[in-house]
Amino acid sequence: MKAILGIESSCDDTSAAVIIDGVLRSNVIASQKVHEAFGGVVPELASRAHQQNILPVVSEAIRQAGISKNDLTAIAYTRGPGLLGSLLVGTSFAKGLALGLNIPLIDVNHLAAHALSHFVKETPEDEVPEFPYMCLLISGGNSQIILVKSPVDMEIIGKTIDDAAGEAFDKCAKVMGLPYPGGPHIDRLAAEGNPNAFAFARPKIPGLDYSFSGLKTSFLYTLRDGLAEDPEFIEKNKADLAASLQQAIIDILLAKLSKAVKIHRPRQIAIGGGVSANSGVRNAIENFCKGRGIKAWIPKRSFTTDNAAMVAIAGAMRFTPDHITDISLPPYSKTAIS
């Protein structure tokens, strides 16, 4: 039996998962509500909450998998990128447990784990992608187009030069007075609105890189001008504002993806990251791929946001005698994919 424990603590979710012989047996996630009152993640509060959550979350993941900690073969953990204080909690816990159990550690890059999340199998029959494929990774911290050539060979061919797609959702939602994180609220409101009601700015930057800051400014100015004429502007137009914002984000994402597809001609496209939970994005990618004869990999919503199942599978796929992490390796807050 090969049992891999995955540990994720890069931002504001403490998660642990167990994969046994390639099949997911548990995936426990403790989300941190403490940040809602601040309208964004407060790093120090995040690390403190991870410290409180990590032991019960890991114990529960092992219990739900129906094994004991002594049955674990190796521990995969998120080394980075992310918030350093948060990463330190997961990293230190993983190291301590691996040392205590005398089993190997496997460090995992958080972005690579998102890109490999489609390999998480809930039953042995589940289908998985074939290498190589193109991945659109869209989250609160990243917007990237990645060529995934193997579990250990990934090339970022496009990335955001300013905000990530999730930040565009969250920051625009915040100025509308919606709670944090705003992405899911925009998604819900957009279902009732007209996506063509407002024309927000689309960036004109060359190459495959993304930019969302112009859209954010254009959204802000529309609210400012609307509120100057009618103090009820947001309330009266919230569904149309949400639908038009979501449409603008989808158009921006697809414009660069379409360019990337023309250059690299992938046969499969996978999406990942928190924003891949968005209903409009999921439909748009499905249609985009259908029209081009490309196989689309749309993740289950539970695997879009941060979770340890993707860390465990990325660890399992990288677990070879040559890839065993030295206990002295520190976490990192920023890096390219690796």
> x/- binding map, residues 88-127, to ligand KG4, per CB under 6 A?
----------------------------------------
Establish if 193 lies at the interface with ligand KG4 (CB under 6 A).
no
Candidate residues 81, 151, 158, 166; the one interacting with ligand KG4 per rule CB under 6 A: 166
Question: Contact 113/78 with Cβ under 8 angstroms?
Answer: yes
- Cβ atoms of 147 and 264 within 8 Å: the answer is yes
Burial of 108 (0-12, 13-18, 19+ CB in 10 A): buried
Near ligand KG4 by CB under 6 A, which window of 22-30, 146-154, 232-240, 273-281? Answer: 273-281
Instruction: Determine which residue in the list 90, 273, 299, 315 makes contact with ligand KG4, applying CB under 6 A.
Output: 273
Query: Are β-strands 74-80 and 143-150 bridged in parallel, bridged antiparallel, or unpaired?
Result: unpaired
* Nearest to 194, CA basis, from 255, 231, 245, 235: 245
Number of residues that bind ligand KG4 (CB under 6 A): 19
Site string for ligand KG4, 306-325 (x = CB under 6 A): x-------------------
CA-wise closest residue to 46 among 5, 97, 80, 87: 87
Among 80, 129, 140, 299, binds ligand KG4 (CB under 6 A): 140
As a residue count, the chain comes to 338
CA dist., res. 183 & res. 193, Å (int): 15
Does the footprint of ligand KG4 cover residue 141 (CB under 6 A)?
yes
Q: Is 11 in the site for ligand KG4 (CB under 6 A)?
A: yes
Per CB under 6 A, the list member of 107, 163, 187, 240 interacting with ligand KG4 is: 187
Rounded Cα gap, residues 4 and 113, in angstroms: 14
DSSP result, 244-260:
HHHHHHHHHHHHHHHHH
Min dist. Cβ of residue 181 to ligand KG4 (A): 4
Query: Which is nearer to ligand KG4, 67 or 115 (by Cβ)?
Result: 115
Minimum CB separation of residue 190 from ligand KG4 in Å reads 9
**Chosen residue from 132, 184, 203, 226 binding ligand KG4 by CB under 6 A:** 184
What is the side-by-side strand order in the sheet with 74-80? 23-31, 13-20, 3-8, 74-80, 105-109
299 binds ligand KG4 (CB under 6 A): no
Q: Where are the alpha helices (DSSP H) in the chain?
A: 43-64, 84-101, 110-115, 165-175, 183-190, 213-229, 233-264, 279-290, 308-318
Residue 81 or 129: which CB sits closer to ligand KG4? 81
Candidate list 135, 148, 172, 275; residue touching ligand KG4; CB under 6 A: 275
CB of 1 to ligand KG4, least distance (A): 31
Considering the complex, state which of residue 168 and residue 208 has its C-beta at the smaller distance from ligand KG4: 168
On the question of a cis peptide bond just before residue 231, with omega within 30 degrees of 0, the verdict is: no
Q: Which of 86, 143, 305, 325 binds ligand KG4 (CB under 6 A)?
A: 305
Q: Is 156 helix (H, G, I), strand (E, B) or coil?
A: strand
Interface with ligand KG4 includes 170 (CB under 6 A)?
Answer: yes
Binding site for ligand KG4 (CB under 6 A): 11, 139-141, 166, 169-170, 181-184, 187, 273-275, 277-278, 305-306
